[in-house]
Amino acid sequence: MMQTLYVELGERRYPIYIGSQLDIATLLSPYLPNKQVMIVTNDTVAPLYAKTYEDALQHLGKTTATCILPDGERYKNIECLNLIFDALLREGFNRDCTVLALGGGVIGDMAGFAAASFQRGVDFIQVPTTLLSQVDSSVGGKTGINHPLGKNMIGAFKQPNIVFADMAQLKTLPLRELSAGLAEIIKYALLGDIDFLIWLESNIDELVAGDEEKLAEAVYRSCAHKARIVANDEKEHGERALLNLGHTFGHAIESYLGYGTWLHGEAIAVGMVMAADLSCQMGLISAEDVERVKHIFQRAKLPIRCPNIPIDDFLNYMSHDKKVLNGSIRLILLKSIGEAFITNRFDINMMKQAILNHLEQ
């Protein structure tokens, strides 16, 4: 079982292979012009999957080395990025090499930024091993690291040569991370595809239970949705901003709690609930719509409230988000369930209320 999706970016067009038990060596071979391959992974994923990839690459006659970073969003920083550069140079890798990211979104973001920056750009392959990274970071080319004053503040746009999303690797994923991935999948439904939301409402229990065929379908539909948007708007000048539904609120939660305390998917689930609440206060969607949003997140075992963050701190962290244009906050809100839009016209007090309504008491 395998589906192939192409991200259409002209000469940087690349395929995403989605399936179970993918044959790595055969699929990789046409996309690996270089002899040197650096596998970047973390200390959770390495013991599970690194050897499989090392063996497959060596079978293809490649020279491999593996750079193992500590696992966690809190290590998505400039110091750990530098460990990748250290490994590349220590192993004598030159500009004709490939960086292969084997891990979740943090590994994909860091390895991708390293591939964009090492020798001003080398080849890049992505093997996302979490549901979140399969639907999120495998399409779009956004890479980067965090800074103590903000998330993803430093980075590059870097497109991979190829992406592998293997559902069999999700067997080892903690349930909490599976749910975090579902948050991002639900996001695609809420922002632009009511039919997908109906499909998710019918299949959410199987998805939470780890049904590989349903997961592959959900990943395929999410990636296809994102790929279409990204192909239209690679550098995020317009439509692509819609993908940030729930993110400005969510980033504030993650920043305040410290990166890695909450999973990204958990934070944006609450962020989407806040965006829905504000949309409801503005008369765009109904109270029942807000309940529907909350309900799908609850069934996906996701939070719909966040810890009691002081409102001024919350607003301060929101204003550090990248979606701030010339000092004014731009939000992604819902015109209806299944249709998002971007705006900087909203009542700040309503926004505060939407936040306060979803803080734990």
Q: Does the annotation count 184 as an active-site position?
A: yes
State the Cα–Cα distance between residues 125 and 105, nearest whole angstrom.
Answer: 13
Number of other residues whose CB lies within 10 A of the CB of residue 249: 29
Q: Does the annotation count 357 as an active-site position?
A: no
Considering the rule CB under 8 A, would residue 344 count as an interface residue with its own copies? no
State the Cα angle at 57 between 159 and 135, rounded to 5°. 35
Q: Does the annotation count 120 as an active-site position?
A: yes
In contact, 321 and 252? CB cutoff 8 Å = yes
Considering the rule CB under 8 A, would residue 155 count as an interface residue with its own copies? yes
**Which residues in 23-42 contact its own copies (CB under 8 A)?**
35
Torsion over CA: 259, 264, 268, 269 (sign): negative
Considering the rule CB under 8 A, would residue 21 count as an interface residue with its own copies? no
Considering the rule CB under 8 A, would residue 87 count as an interface residue with its own copies? no
Considering the rule CB under 8 A, would residue 214 count as an interface residue with its own copies? no
Going through 161-305 in order, the beta strands assigned E by DSSP cover 162-166
CB contact burial 264-284 (16+ within 10 A = b; e otherwise): bbbbbbbbbbbbbbbbbbbeb
Considering the rule CB under 8 A, would residue 82 count as an interface residue with its own copies? yes
Which one of 283, 325, 349, 361 is in contact with its own copies (CB under 8 A)? 325
**Which residues in 235-264 contact its own copies (CB under 8 A)?**
235
Contact pattern from residue 88 through residue 117 relative to its own copies, giving x for each residue in contact according to CB under 8 A and a dash for the rest: -xx-x-xxx----------------x--xx
Q: Does the annotation count 244 as an active-site position?
A: yes
List the alpha helices (DSSP H) in 233-260. 247-257
Considering the rule CB under 8 A, would residue 150 count as an interface residue with its own copies? yes
Q: Does the annotation count 236 as an active-site position?
A: yes
- Least distance in Å: CB of 78 to its own copies? 5
Considering the rule CB under 8 A, would residue 312 count as an interface residue with its own copies? no
Q: Does the annotation count 171 as an active-site position?
A: no
Which one of 11, 61, 149, 312 is in contact with its own copies (CB under 8 A)? 149
Which one of 41, 109, 136, 142 is in contact with its own copies (CB under 8 A)? 142
Q: How far is CA 285 from the centre of its chain?
A: 27
Closest CA to 300 of 154, 185, 193: 185
Q: Does the annotation count 142 as an active-site position?
A: yes
State the Cα–Cα distance between residues 177 and 180, nearest whole angstrom.
Answer: 5
Which one of 65, 324, 350, 359 is in contact with its own copies (CB under 8 A)? 324
Q: Left (φ > 0), alpha (ψ -120 to 50) or beta: where does 338 sit?
A: left
State the Cα–Cα distance between residues 139 and 249, nearest whole angstrom.
Answer: 22
Which one of 4, 21, 52, 119 is in contact with its own copies (CB under 8 A)? 119
Which one of 26, 43, 78, 258 is in contact with its own copies (CB under 8 A)? 78
Joined together, the tokens standing for residue 351 give 């926004």
Give the catalytic positions in this structure: 120, 142, 184, 226, 236, 240, 244, 247, 251, 264
Residues comprising the binding site?
A: 71-76, 105-109, 129-130, 142, 151, 184, 247, 264
